[in-house]
Amino acid sequence: EAQVTQNPRYLITVTGKKLTVTCSQNMNHEYMSWYRQDPGLGLRQIYYSMNVEVTDKGDVPEGYKVSRKEKRNFPLILESPSPNQTSLYFCASRSPGGKENEQFFGPGTRLTVL
């Protein structure tokens, strides 16, 4: 089954404790991205990657890091989480170009930083 997986689905942590949210896709997509979703603000892109070893900032990259060492994986790293990073996070993947290339979203990770 074609899918994007994220782990963990739920996470409660404390300020300053480094964490990683994993993302993996099995569709051989070149393009992957991370979004955060907050009430009233919609989906905001954190980082995106066009291919292995190619990443770029989205609209709200502060406080986050990413890496793309393999095509299928795109982990999101919070080196020193703060309460304002409490949010719902989505990973997504897609093949670039084309009219019918939909973007697939993972199930989401709900993060709470105390």
Partner 1 sequence: QQPVQSPQAVILREGEDAVINCSSSKALYSVHWYRQKHGEAPVFLMILLKGGEQKGHEKISASFNEKKQQSSLYLTASQLSYSGTYFCGTDLTGFQKLVFGTGTRLLVSP
In contact, 82 and 113? CB cutoff 8 Å: yes
- The stretch among 8-16, 37-45, 64-72, 77-85 that binds partner 1 (CB under 8 A) is 37-45
Check residue 45 for interaction with partner 1 (CB under 8 A). yes
Provide the 8-state DSSP code for 96: S
Tell me the one-letter amino acid at 106: G
Check residue 8 for interaction with partner 1 (CB under 8 A). no
Task: Please choose, from the candidates 87, 35, 81, 30, the residue with its C-alpha nearest in 3D space to the C-alpha of residue 61.
Answer: 35
Check residue 14 for interaction with partner 1 (CB under 8 A). no
Check residue 90 for interaction with partner 1 (CB under 8 A). yes
Tell me the one-letter amino acid at 45: Q
- The stretch among 13-21, 45-53, 66-74, 76-84 that binds partner 1 (CB under 8 A) is 45-53
Neighbour tally for 61: CB within 10 Å:
16
C-beta of 62: minimal distance to partner 1 in Å?
17
- Alpha-carbon distance of 3 to 103, in angstroms, equals 11
Which residues are near partner 1 by CB under 8 A?
A: 31, 33, 35, 40-45, 48, 50, 56, 58-59, 90, 94, 96-97, 99-108
